[in-house]
Chain A
Amino acid sequence: MTSLARALIEDDDTLLPSRRDEDWRWTDLRGALRVLPKPAHATVSEKRETGRLERSFKFVQARGYHGQFALEVPAGEHLVLIDRFLGAEAAYAADLSLTFTLGEGASLTRIAFHRDSAEAVTVTTAEVSLAPGARYAQTVLAAGAKRQRIETRLVHPGGGAVARLDGAYVLAGQRHSDQTTEVRHQGRNGECRELVKGVVADQARGVFQGRIVVAHGADGTDAKLGHHALVLSDKAEVDSKPELEIYADDVACAHGNTVGALNEEALFYARARGIPPLEAKRMLTEAFLAEVVERVEDPAARDLAASWLAERLMGVAG
């Protein structure tokens, strides 16, 4: 159980992580939750079709929601999962623990939409374990909250298993969103791809922490980690910390991290062709995030992701 859930259940705010905790220094929960809301069990509603599952987690009252949800994809099976986290305009807290277990040769394509209220403090932790030959592909799309932490921890067995942990965040106002990932490569020949892109406007704050650990003996590991952010205002902020911890000898690991503004040349080019400044900004911002969307293998899920991001951008670019 993570510390927010324990703090809610035990009504003890000293259990909350604060800036003093290295892993939480950009996502201070203690400062954001002066009063702990009354605890409540989180519930999920599900819609199933063959090979597809949609889950909705709704936070409607000023409560402290907590819950644990496990999902297993048996060997050889394939599932597309759409997870929606939806908050009403209330000052709620939520701490959800999700586990995903993939059997041999199974595949799970997961898209998670995190749409919290601006007053919410939420932590979502996904723990993923893969059997050899399994494939886990995740795209986390986040609109931020007062504090929003989305954490993914994946244990990689190697052996031809493949993991893709992507994400995008679009933040306006005073919203905050933190995507933290940790991939532990424990076997030979594991592959991992990670691309997170974000756009921050107004006084918003985006956080990315990506750690890749390659254990002793996990030779042949092939890992790529990228985080790129666009900062659209002087008062917006992006903090990022990519980390590679490598204890094996024969590995290919790369990481890239950029934080910058919109390309003024490209903006002028679009304007010189008749596209008004606001529309030009929105077009270029959407294009910046498009790479994350294009990596979603399932066409229906990809369309959902594209329109969700486009809608968020309407409120940001400008």
Chain B
Amino acid sequence: MSCGTKFSAEFPSSGNERRHQHGLPPLLTISNLHVAVAGPPILKGLSLDVPKGEVHAIMGPNGAGKSTLSYTLACRDGYEVTEGAASLDGEDLLALQAHERAAKGVFLSFQYPLEIPGVPALTFVRTALNAQKKARGEDEVSAPEFLKRAKQAAAALKMDFDMLRRGLNVGFSGGEKKRMEIFQMAMLEPRLLILDETDSGLDIDALRIVSEGVNALRSPERSMLVITHYQRLLDYIRPDKVHVLAGGRIVASGGPELALELEREGYDKYVREAA
């Protein structure tokens, strides 16, 4: 099984209409996205624009389709798009394989980053960086240049550099694994960051360090999709917009105050509406 579409996607025109509303061209455009996972539909007509430079939060109850959205954008096997479209800077995302999307600048930060024994973190990141550069027709990074950049990025995240010489994430705590994700983001310099429940398993100190790492990556050229169940993460990573995902669709959108409302009142209202 592989990720992908069952139909030939028709490219949406809605991106242009929305451009006027935001004043900025969207980096990520999702239109009427329907996704099925091993049969049953999970996303049922999700539409969303994330303009360049903006941070959007996706909040929703368990089972709303939050992880399905992030896995679909990253092209995980078994997540089948049955209808709709998604584009990055005007380019059809759904026509690309996982590694091609990464080379275009999509970065999914995993809720539970994998442990890969036998592959030192530095080797993994350099392999990924050079594969991306090759796909984009750019020159590979030389070993000394890579090492210099890696040392700077590790220092900024207060990471022990020796950790990067050991097997990727092997024996790391939850906080260390998330820090390793941020380290990879800093090295790979993606255009679209998808943070899937990045706060899960983090204590307050780790949450602060990880959030600072994410905030340091905010730039006018980079957009972020912060997927979270709790408002807590958004105290640290301040979103420009908040969307509520329920029943496989975006059912409400607003400013940061929407997150506070959800924290106070819960998702019940939206779950009932979506049902």
Write the residues of chain A forming the contact surface with B, with a CB cutoff of 8 angstroms. 263-266, 268-277, 279-280, 283-284, 286-291
Contact = CB atoms under 8 A, between A and B. Distances in A.
Contact of A273 (B118, B128, B135): B128
Interface in B112-150: 113-114, 116-119, 124-125, 127-129, 131-132, 135
A284 B102 contact: no
5 contacts: A266-B114, A272-B76, A272-B99, A274-B131, A275-B99
Interface string B53-70: 000000000000000000
A271 B97 contact: yes
Given A264-B77, A283-B127, A271 B102 contact: yes
A271 B118 contact: no
B74 interface: yes
Given A268-B98, A269-B110, A274 B118 contact: no
B131 A276 contact: yes
Given A276-B99, A284-B119, A287-B117, A270 B124 contact: yes
A118 B119 CA distance: 31
- Please list the 4 inter-chain residue pairs (A to B) with the smallest Cβ-Cβ separation, ordered nearest first: A287-B118, A274-B102, A290-B118, A274-B132
B103 interface: yes
B29 interface: no
Given A264-B77, A266-B116, A290-B118, A272 B127 contact: no
B8 to A, nearest CB: 24
A290 B124 CA distance: 14
B98 A272 contact: yes
Contacts of A275: 99, 127-128, 131
Contact of B128 (A274, A277, A291): A274
Query: Is the contact region of chain A dominated by helix, strand, or loop, or is it mixed?
Result: helix
B99 A271 contact: yes
A280 B102 CA distance: 14
A273 B116 contact: no
Contacts of A271: 75, 97-99, 102
A269 to B, nearest CB: 4
Contact of B118 (A269, A276, A286): A286
A270 B128 contact: yes
A311 to B, nearest CB: 17
Contacts of B101: 272
Given A271-B97, A287-B119, 7 more contacts: A268-B76, A272-B74, A274-B135, A275-B127, A276-B131, A287-B116, A289-B118
A262 to B, nearest CB: 11
B252 to A, nearest CB: 29
B128 A284 contact: no
A276 B132 CA distance: 9
A266 B113 CA distance: 9
B223 interface: no
B113 A269 contact: yes
Contacts of A286: 118
B124 A273 contact: yes
B113 to A, nearest CB: 7
Nearest to B116: A266
B125 to A, nearest CB: 8
A179 B162 CA distance: 36
Interface string B193-222: 000000000000000000000000000000
A288 B132 CA distance: 24
B184 interface: yes
A265 B98 CA distance: 13
B227 interface: no
A269 B119 CA distance: 13
B98 A283 contact: no
Interface in B66-119: 74-77, 97-99, 101-103, 107-108, 110, 113-114, 116-119
